[in-house]
Amino acid sequence: MIQNETTRVWVNRIFSFIVGGFLLFLIMNFAVADQLRKELDEIKYEAGRLLSDAKANIENKRYDNAKESLKVLTEKHPGSDEAVEVNKLYAVIEAAVQSDQKTQADLDLKWEEAAGGVRNEWESKTATEMRDKIVKESDQLEKDMNKILSEEWEKNKDKIREEWEKTLGEA
C-alpha cells in the first residue's frame, strides 16, 4: 500500500477524475449517438425522399421496392402531403403489374405458337453443326490412324518379316 497519506489522496483524486471523465464521456457519447440516430432516421425516412424513391422504383419496374417505400411513408408520415399520393401510386403499381402480366401472357402465347417452328429450325441448325463436327473429327481420326499405323509398321516391320519368312518356309 501507499505509505504517504498525501500520495494516497492524490492517487484517489486522479483515479476519481479518470472514472468521472470516463462516465461523462459515456453519457455524452450515448446522448450524441442517440441524437445522430434520430437525425439519420429523419433523413432516411423523410417523406419526400420516400416518395421519390417509390417513384424511381416504379420507373425501374421494381414494384416490391416501391410498395415497401410507400408502406414506410404511410407508417412514418400518415398525414403528410406526400401520403396523399400513396393511393395513386399503388393504383399505378397495380396497373403496371397487370400490364406486365398481360404482356407476359401475350409473349407466352406467341412463344407457344412459334415454338414448333423455332425448334425445327434449331434442330436443323444443331444437326448440321454436329454433322460437320463429326466429319472433321472423322477426317482427323483417319489422318491420325494413318500416322499411327505407319509408326507401328516401322517399329514392328522386322518382327513381321520374320513371321512372314516362317510361313514361307512351312509352305
79-88 residue pLDDT tens: 787 777 888 8
pLDDT at 171 > cutoff 70: no
Report residue 122: phi and psi, to 5°.
-65, -45
Residue 153 and residue 70 share a domain: yes
Per-residue model confidence as pLDDT tens digits over 113-167? 888 899 999 999 999 999 999 999 998 988 888 888 899 999 998 998 888 888 8
Number of neighbouring beta carbons within 10 Å of residue 93: 19
Chain-centroid distance, C-alpha 44? 25
Residue 162 and residue 108 share a domain: yes
Count of domains observed in the chain? 2
Return the biggest CA–CA distance within the chain. Answer: 131
- Give the range of the structural domain holding residue 10, as residue numbers without chain letter: 1-44
Whole-number Å distance between alpha carbons of 145 and 84:
82
User: Is the pTM value of this prediction over 0.85?
Assistant: no
| Residue entry with cell 514361307 | 168
Residue 59 and residue 31 share a domain: no
